[in-house]
Amino acid sequence: MVEYTSRIKLTKQATGANANTWGEVLNAGVFSVVDQAIAGYAVVTLGSGTSLVSLSVDDGTVSRGRNKIIELTGTLATATNIIIPQTSREYIVKNSTSGAFGVTFKTTHASSTGAAVNQGMTNIVYCDGTSVRTAFTTADAGSRIVGVCATNIPDTSLADLRYDQLSVNQTITGAKTHTSLIESNSSIKVSSGRAYAVPYSVAYAASIIVSMDESNTFFVTLTGNGILGFPVKGRAGQSGLIYVYQDGTGSRTLSYVSCWNWAGGTAPTATTTANAVDIISYNVRTVAGDLCVTNVDAEMKLDFKNS
């Protein structure tokens, strides 16, 4: 009596059986079957009102239900159940069907729990010996085809949205944080609300260096005499303000390196009164290849205070 393995139905060799013909049995009942179970691909066409399709696995021979990869095609006219053997196994399933109906993989076990593979998706379907389950839920990125069009973007929650679709007109709500350069080849209009840069505090040093990628508006408190050095990480056309505060002692002076250009070529003298506030307005004219600012046009307004 011929026996077979319990899961993928390979032919077993009985002791002393198939003398001089075991090679034929081995090729047909083992190697071909294993080849199909590991790498077999089958297209299963659904439709025509059929609501039940069986993927059977025959003993010791190739059969449709043993293929590793199953692609479902056809136009569904009704919800369809696909019955697979009631033993541990797994399939890679691609649902390429159309029609507004679902496909569910099940076993014939009375307590079998079915698993659906949604249209347009690829998933891993496996049986635990009783019920059928999917490796990924519809919310998992692993169950979605990732492509370049909107329908192929992995599912995500609004709280986890990381990408804005900018190729079409779109209303973007909620806060979005961008950590890299954003360039626009068209106008940017703020119809309501505001656009602003959060002021950035520059640490005092004898040579004060403004890192222009931090903001457009800066402030520095002079706790000693300082030199306003070459700004770094600037962009030609960048403009903004630099607030210069005197500390509670005052009498702090401020001088400038050669990249700072002033009206008439005369550098201003900062207000030295304790707690005084001066404001430098600037516009970057040129930068070097390393984004170090080489020319910045500036003007200082003195001694801002309450009227």
The pTM (predicted TM-score) of the whole model is 0.49
Neighbours of 219 (CB within 10 A): 16
Rounded Cα distance, 247 and 51, in Å? 82
Burial class (CB in 10 A: 0-12, 13-18, 19+), 14: exposed
Q: Which residue has the higher pLDDT, 246 or 85?
A: 246
Contact 48, 98 (CB under 8 A): no
Q: In Å, how far are 89, 132, 185, 219 from 278, measured between CA atoms?
A: 76, 73, 35, 10
**Chain segment 84-119, per-residue pLDDT in tens:** 988 888 999 999 999 888 899 999 888 877 889 999
Position 140 pLDDT exceeds 60? no
Task: Out of 44-48, 180-184, 187-191, 251-255, give the one with best mean pLDDT.
Answer: 251-255
181-203 confidence digits (pLDDT tens) = 777 788 888 888 888 889 999 99
Q: Stretch 256-270: mean pLDDT, rounded?
A: 97
Listed residue (146, 128, 126) closest to 136, CA to CA:
126
In this structure, of 164-168, 175-179, 223-227, the range with the lowest mean pLDDT score is 164-168
- Considering only residues 5 and 281, tell me which one the structure prediction assigns the higher pLDDT: 281
Query: Residue range 120-140: average pLDDT?
Result: 83
d(CA 96, CA 217): 55
- Mean pLDDT within 1-23: 76
* CA–CA separation, 256 and 259 (whole Å): 8
pLDDT at 51: 83
The secondary structure of 151-164 as a DSSP string is: GGSPP--GGG----
**Domains of the chain (ranges, CATH numbers):** 37-143 (no CATH), 200-301 (2.60.120)
Cross-strand bridge partners of residue 225: none
**What phi and psi, each to the nearest 5 degrees, are found at residue 23?**
-60, -40
Select from 122, 123, 105 the least CA-distant residue to 114: 105
pLDDT at 175: 75
Confidence of residue 250 (pLDDT cuts 50, 70, 90): very high
Of 4-13, 189-198, 214-223, 235-244, minimum mean pLDDT range? 4-13
User: In this model, does residue 206 exceed pLDDT 60?
Assistant: yes
Confidence of residue 141 (pLDDT cuts 50, 70, 90): very low
pLDDT of residue 142: 45
Mean pLDDT value across residues 205-212? 96
User: pLDDT grade, residue 143 (50/70/90)?
Assistant: very low
| Mean pLDDT lowest among 1-15, 65-79, 157-171, 266-280 | 157-171
Question: Rounded mean pLDDT of the chain?
Answer: 85
Q: Is the pLDDT of residue 268 over 70?
A: yes
Higher per-residue pLDDT: 210 or 54? 210
In eight-state DSSP terms, residue 33 is: H
Give the residue, 61 or 288, on which the prediction is more confident.
Answer: 288
